[in-house]
Amino acid sequence: MSTTDVFVLVGGQGSRLSVLSEHRAKPAVPFAGKYRIIDFTLTNCVYSGFFRIHMLTQYRPRSLVEHVGVGKPWDLDRKWGGLAFLHPYVGHEGSAWYGGTADALVQNLDVLRDSRTDDALILSGDHVYKMNYEWLVRAHRETDADVTVCVIEVPWDKTHEFGILTADEQGRIVEFAEKPAQANSNLASMGVYVFKRKALIRILEELQSEHPNLDFGHHVIPAMMERGHVMSYRYGGYWLDIGTVQSYYDASMELLLPEPRLNLFDNEWHILTREHNRPPTCIEDSAHVHDSMITDGCEISGAVSGSILGPGVVVEEGARVEHSVLLDDCLVRRGALVQRCILDKRVKVGSKARIGVAGDGRINEEQPKVLQSGITVVGKDARIPAHQVIGTNCLIDMLTSPDDFHHRKLPDGTSLRTNRAHHTVR
């Protein structure tokens, strides 16, 4: 499939991931211990035989660019083809911040025009799934479609969160609605599109002046339905848009099931990522580990159950971590309790502190639609003082220090913000 160029949209902010994505692009959010969300899309590309990949960045790209680098873990550091970053820029005519998903392609039309490929594969870099794109492109060519939209069935009560389409018996799309209040179908767009390259150039040139915030779901696909041959391609595997704190937490906990839908131990489709040199994991005699995923470099002397620990996490003797996700290099001191929490990188929990302790169940005051199911989220480099009690549905800002805690107990639904969090931290 060398006659296909790949464009990966990785500029998303992901505001519903709370403090996890306030200082990094959503595709750069760590997931499943050692990975980042972008790893799944890049792995799919190389296993599918696609090695000409353009990544369109925008929102806080630093950690993403550092993680991906020149693409060596995915065999993308090559002389011909390989990986290229397309950053927005401000200059003379025709340059500005990307206004929408399709506008990102508009501002890189020169790349599309200079390409010698037949097709353009458009992907979102913030979804978790395994997919062979070669089959999708073959189906696209067999039907001679101008664009093929990859679709998946979603629960009916979730249709308002997606672009929903209706297809006829041949798979041709006859109706499309972006996030409808009432849906006529439960077939959702996955944000994966294959265009005939020349058809994509034509539609972008036609729509760009009319829609400065040009978007594939709102504008391009409906316009293509009026002007061209638009087909659907049904995908039947595991796919998840990790768009909220709840979906991130649920997807993480599902990995701990005896037979999770997403199999990270599949040797035929091993997820590739940037490897960090870490020592082996050390589990002391005093440790109790149950139904958990422990990554390289962890030191466990306490109790860990139903949790995922990223690289370098330390759980001291007498500490307990229950049903939580701890990212790289977190430290849980002696006698501390962490339950139903997500701790971002390098969080330090003081001795005998308790985080995620249920009270009255009040939802978060600042982010009521994001933190309402009992999960507490702590930002990067926060330091929780000894003996501190933090309730459920709480948000603790990055770089929070012990001096920022003026009360020994933070009730459910509390947000503790600081003026230090404007710094960008990886």
Selection from 376, 380, 365 nearest residue 22 by Cα: 380
Q: Is residue 267 part of a domain?
A: no
Answer yes or no: is 270 within a domain. no
pLDDT tens for each residue of 96-125: 678 788 999 999 999 999 998 999 999 999
Q: Write down the pTM of the prediction.
A: 0.93
The SS3 assignment for 232 reads strand
- Rounded-to-integer distance, Cα 306 and Cα 289, Å: 9
Helical (H) or strand (E) element with 349: strand 348-349
User: Tokens representing 284?
Assistant: 């002391």
Q: Which residue has the higher pLDDT, 331 or 208?
A: 331
Q: Is the pLDDT of residue 94 over 70?
A: no
The distance in angstroms from the start CA to the end CA of the chain is 35
CA atoms of 45 and 39, how far apart (whole Å)? 10
pLDDT of residue 425: 45
Alpha helix ranges (H) inside 59-99: 62-68
**HSE of 239, CA atoms in CB hemisphere, 13 A:** 21
E strand or H helix at 121: strand 119-124
Domain for residue 241, yes or no?
A: yes
Residue 268 domain flag: no
Instruction: Calculate mean pLDDT across residues 265-289.
Output: 94
The pLDDT assigned to 380 comes to 96
Say if 309 falls within a structural domain: yes
Which of 254, 287, 313 is the C-terminal boundary of a domain?
Answer: 254
> What pLDDT was estimated at residue 422?
53
Are 140 and 186 members of one domain?
yes
pLDDT (tens digit, 9 = 90+) per residue, 34-71? Answer: 999 999 999 999 999 999 999 999 888 889 999 999 99
Q: Both 229 and 349 in a single domain? A: no
At 93 the pLDDT is 58
pLDDT the model gives residue 333:
98
What would the pLDDT profile of 159-185 be if each residue is shown by its tens digit? 998 999 999 999 999 999 989 999 989
pLDDT (0 to 100) of residue 203: 96
Q: Are residues 250 and 314 in the same domain?
A: no
pLDDT tier at 212 (50, 70, 90 boundaries)? confident
Amino acid residing at 402: P
Q: What one-letter code names the amino acid at 414?
A: T
Instruction: Inform me whether the pLDDT recorded for 95 exceeds 60.
Output: no
Query: What's the pLDDT score for residue 398?
Result: 95
The confidence score (pLDDT) of residue 97 equals 74
Same domain, 196 and 332: no
Expressed in percent and rounded to 5, the helix, strand and coil fractions of the chain are: 20, 25, 50
For 50, the domain range is 4-254
At 330, which CATH number?
A: 2.160.10.10
Residue 2: predicted pLDDT? 58
Instruction: State pLDDT tens for residues 233-262.
Output: 999 999 998 889 999 999 999 999 999 999
- At CB < 8 A and 24+ separation, what contacts does 390-393 make? 390/353, 390/354, 390/355, 390/356, 390/357, 390/414, 391/356, 391/357, 391/358, 391/359, 391/362, 392/340, 392/356, 392/357, 392/358, 392/359, 392/361, 393/361, 393/362, 393/363, 393/364
- In this structure, are 83 and 210 located in the same domain? yes
324 and 239 share a domain? Answer: no
Task: Based on the fold, state whether residues 303 and 228 are members of the same structural domain.
Answer: no
Q: What is the pLDDT of residues 347-367, one digit of tens each?
A: 999 999 999 999 899 999 999
For residue 30, is it within any domain? yes
Residues contacting residue 142 through CB under 8 Å, at least 6 positions apart: none
Same domain for 240 and 289?
A: no
Structure tokens at 394: 């709480």
At 1 the pLDDT is 47
Q: Are residues 205 and 134 in the same domain?
A: yes
> Which residue among 223, 254, 285 closes a domain?
254
Strands (E), 125-219: 127-129, 147-153, 163-167, 173-178, 187-196
> Side by side, which strands form the sheet with 303-305?
288-290, 303-305, 320-322, 337-339, 354-355, 389-390, 409-410
Distance from C-alpha of 168 to C-alpha of 185, rounded to nearest angstrom: 12
Same domain membership, residue 289 and residue 248: no
Residue 338 has pLDDT above 50, yes or no: yes
| Domain contains 264 | no
Residue from 220, 156, 152 nearest 190 by CA: 152
How far is 138 from 415, CA to CA, in rounded Å?
50
pLDDT top residue among 3 and 157: 157
Comparing 90 with 320, which gets the higher pLDDT?
Answer: 320
Q: 169 and 108 share a domain?
A: yes
In a domain, residue 259? The reply is no
Question: How many folded domains does the chain comprise?
Answer: 2
Is the Cβ–Cβ distance between 320 and 333 less than 8 Å?
no
Residue 107 φ/ψ region, left for φ over 0, alpha for ψ in the -120 to 50 degree band, beta for the rest: alpha
Please check whether residues 328 and 385 belong to one and the same domain: yes
Here the CATH number for the domain that contains residue 145 is: 3.90.550.10
What are the b/e assignments for 136-170, b being 16+ CB within 10 Å?
Answer: bbebbbebebbbbbbbbebeeeebeebbbbbbeee
Which tokens go with 61? 């790209």
- Look up residue 317 and give its two tokens: 């003797």
pLDDT for the residue 424:
45
423 pLDDT exceeds 60? no
Q: What are the structure tokens assigned to 313, written together?
A: 């996490």
